[in-house]
Amino acid sequence: ETGVTQSPTHLIKTRGQQVTLRCSSQSGHNTVSWYQQALGQGPQFIFQYYREEENGRGNFPPRFSGLQFPNYSSELNVNALELDDSALYLCASSLPGLEGEKLFFGSGTQLSVL
């Protein structure tokens, strides 16, 4: 059984650019949630995808968007990057059901915006 994998592990962009982060969910998990973790803070919920549809969104602007593919992998896209977007971006997968609230996190993508 493979865990949640994210790519790339590190990324440096400049303000105004666009970025795409990728996540492969744990085997059998059909739900992916994305979180932003600023330095020294707890993760903040961005949005969740379930069966390729957005299923809940946190307090993030529309320039944060996502996709989920038929194999349940997912992408997070951020347009018009701002300095405050510098953070660790975490992907978590889960399987709705008896223990659907259990999230399995990847190691994250560290994004630096200069």
Partner 1 sequence: QQQVKQSPQSLIVQKGGISIINCAYENTAFDYFPWYQQFPGKGPALLIAIRPDVSEKKEGRFTISFNKSAKQFSLHIMDSQPGDSATYFCAASLTTDSWGKLQFGAGTQVVVTP
**Contact footprint for partner 1 (CB under 8 A):** 4, 31, 33, 40-45, 48, 55-56, 58, 90, 92, 94, 96, 100-108
Instruction: Select from 22, 25, 32 the least CA-distant residue to 2.
Output: 25
User: Closer CB to partner 1, residue 24 or residue 31?
Assistant: 31
Question: 88 phi and psi, to 5 degrees?
Answer: -95, 125
Q: How far is the CB of 53 from partner 1 (least distance, A)?
A: 13
Report, in Å, the least distance between residue 81 CB and partner 1. 22
* Contact in structure between 46 and 64 (CB atoms under 8 Å): yes
Q: Which CB atom, from 107 or from 112, has the smaller least distance to partner 1? A: 107
Instruction: Report the distance separating Cα 85 and Cα 31, nearest Å.
Output: 24
